[in-house]
Amino acid sequence: MRIRLLGTAAAEGWPALFCRCPHCARARAAGGRNVRTRAAANVDGVYQFDFGPDVYHHMLQGNDLSAVVHLIMTHSHADHLQPSDLAMRQPPFAHGVSGPLHIYGNDRVLARIRGPHGDAEHPGLEFHLLEPFTEVGVADATLVPLLADHDPAERCLIHLFGRGGRWLLYGHDTGYFPEETWAAIARWAAGGARLHAALLDCTAGPLATRRGHMGLQACAEVRERLLGMGAADAASRFVVTHFSHNGGWMYDEMVPHAEPLGFAVAYDGMEWDA
């Protein structure tokens, strides 16, 4: 399973759009891994998680959207879903793209994409409603949507994603997982499955945040619980991502805090085989 992190920032990006804070000023000056676009990821070229406002930039950086067949959504917030750009997949905006784009999401995600006219104005898109804790097949992969602790007005999701015997936990946007989600992970692990990679929400960085988003300490608690219940082991790769400038730590500042807790620190364009 080849995982590529397209974007690793929270809603405002980093440096943030209108911000003059010292953390954004330092990121502008330093560049490199300190410049972060809104969060999204690609798996094996064919599967993409989230479709936010930086999707065009991600294409310019080498993400071949014409190859994506399955778009898996976490929730409907604007930093994760830019529905107007989905119209660019059909003529006259795009040529040579064959087959439908399958979109998997909760009710709000699908409603935002469909708009007031329903499916009729979306040729080439096929919609799949996700229900928390209900496993679905996604071509040759398996998806287990789990409830996130994020926006109480929406059933936001994180995902267990499995392909070829390898498993990824796409674990943001969320605070410390709800107990229903922990129970579902325990049932999944009881069948003998193990995580090969886990992406965890570390929006707050060094701040003690547990609800809606997480900081590094809450991520460490999630990791320890996953290890303790047998859902992960020493070979599982844990990565913190989805950072806000409000946390303050630059990439090189976060690494010495994250690595002793068992985490790699995400950056835009990070790739590895899980």
> How much is the pLDDT for 117?
57
203: Cβ–Cβ under 8 A, 6 or more apart, which residues?
10, 172, 173, 209, 213, 214, 215, 242, 243, 244, 247
- 100 vs 10, 26, 119, 255, CA distance in Å? 29, 43, 13, 41
pLDDT band at 263 (very low <50, low <70, confident <90, very high): very high
Q: What whole-number distance in Å separates Cα of residue 177 and Cα of residue 191?
A: 20
Q: Tell me if 66 sits within 8 A of 94, measured CB to CB.
A: yes
> How much is the pLDDT for 176?
98
Q: Based on the number of CB atoms within 10 Å of its own CB, is 99 exposed (0-12), middle (13-18) or buried (19 or more)? A: exposed
Domain containing residue 123 = 2-273
pTM for the whole thing? 0.95
CATH code for position 214: 3.60.15.10
Q: What whole-number distance in Å separates Cα of residue 129 and Cα of residue 118?
A: 14
Number of domains observed in the structure of the chain: 1
> How much is the pLDDT for 214?
98
Q: What whole-number distance in Å separates Cα of residue 199 and Cα of residue 167?
A: 11
> How much is the pLDDT for 121?
63
pLDDT band at 122 (very low <50, low <70, confident <90, very high): confident
